[in-house]
Structure formats: structure tokens, C-alpha cells
Amino acid sequence: MKGFYKTRVYIVRHGETDWNAELRVMGQLDIPLNERGRAQAHRTAELLAHEHFDAIYSSDLVRAIETAQIIAAPHALDVLTLPELREAYYGLWEGLTRDEVLKKFPEEYAMRSLDPANFRPSGGESRKELYTRAARIFSELVARHPDQQILIVSHGGTIRAILRYALGLGPGDGHFAVDNCGVSIIDKEDDGSYEIFTVNSVFHLRELRTEDFF
């Protein structure tokens, strides 16, 4: 047992892709890291190289797998992939830029702010559905690793859902910045509650920062 927590979970968003830079909706489309995304992953690997991990999990999308493999290399651990850790499914929005979504689906886009938890893009997944999926797999992984430390590499929407769940918030509540390769840490306490230790730490990426990084 490490410190006062039963299980510590490091959660890292995947590194940057070209579609991130273009503000294009990726959702569950399989888009690889770009050069800066790989550099971000290597900086994150350096940051976490001296941590002990009992297991490393990743979404089964390539941008998350590659990030996880880079981080896992110093630990000689295999990356275990889980489709439940995927990003939200955005249906017909996937592949479009924000401007293109506004042009093609103006009424849908406007509805997002009216009922954030239940809004569903055409053919896609709602925040409530994502929240249920993310909370379930997070709880399962924590239960699988009592008194251990694990790493999860996932996606912005999924990580926000996990943070909401750990804080006792609903699927439509609150907003969290989750940058590419930002690191968050959640502790499972002895009493069964969760404590957020860190949210979206990006100090290790400071030398990679550009004007559009944040």
C-alpha cells in the first residue's frame, strides 16, 4: 500500500493528432499521432519513468495505443487495450471540423447547450451514455487493482466523464480542460471514496508549447 490510498490511477490523454490541430471531430475514427503528439508522449514517458505501475491500460484506438506504448517502454509492461476506454462516438459529426458541424448541423449544435447530458449527435453517443461506459470500466479497473498503481491512456471526453464520476458529478455537470498528454491522478481511499489528486498537469510539456497548444 502506497501512502493513504488503496489504489492510485494515473490517467493520460493521448498525444496530439493532425485532427486535433485542425479542430476536427475524431470521435472513434482511428487517427494516428502526429510528430508533436509523439514528442508529447515521450515527455510524458520521461515524467512517469520512475513511477511504479502494476498495469497499463489504453483505449484500442491507435492514437491512445501509441501514446501508451511510449509511456510503457521504461516499465517493460504490455499495454492492455479496452474498447470501453474509447472516445465518445459522434456519429455523423466525425471527420468534420467545428465550422463544418455548425454549417451541416446548426440545430443539433445549438441543442448541445440545452441538455448537455442527453444530447446525442446524429447517430452518435450522448454524454450520459459515455458517462455510464466510462464510470463502469473505471470502477472495474480500480476493483481489479486494490492497493496498486495503474495507468490509463484515453481520450478527452472519456477522461472528463471519469473525473465527473470520481467527483460525484452528473454527466452534464462541470467542465475540465484535458489537454493532449495532460496527466490526471485519482486516488481510491480506504473508505471507498475517490480523491482527485491532480487534474490535467501539463508542466512537463512546457517546452513543446506553441500559441495554439492550450
Catalytic residue ranges: 14, 87
* Alpha helical stretches, state H, the chain: 18-21, 35-48, 62-72, 98-104, 106-111, 127-144, 156-167
C-alpha distances (whole Å) from 53 to each of 19, 38, 137, 152, 181 are 30, 21, 18, 10, 17
Give the SS3 label for residue 189.
Answer: strand
| Residue that has been written with the C-alpha cell 490535467 in this structure | 200
Hey, what's the cell of 37? 503528439
Cα–Cα dist 26/35, whole Å: 18
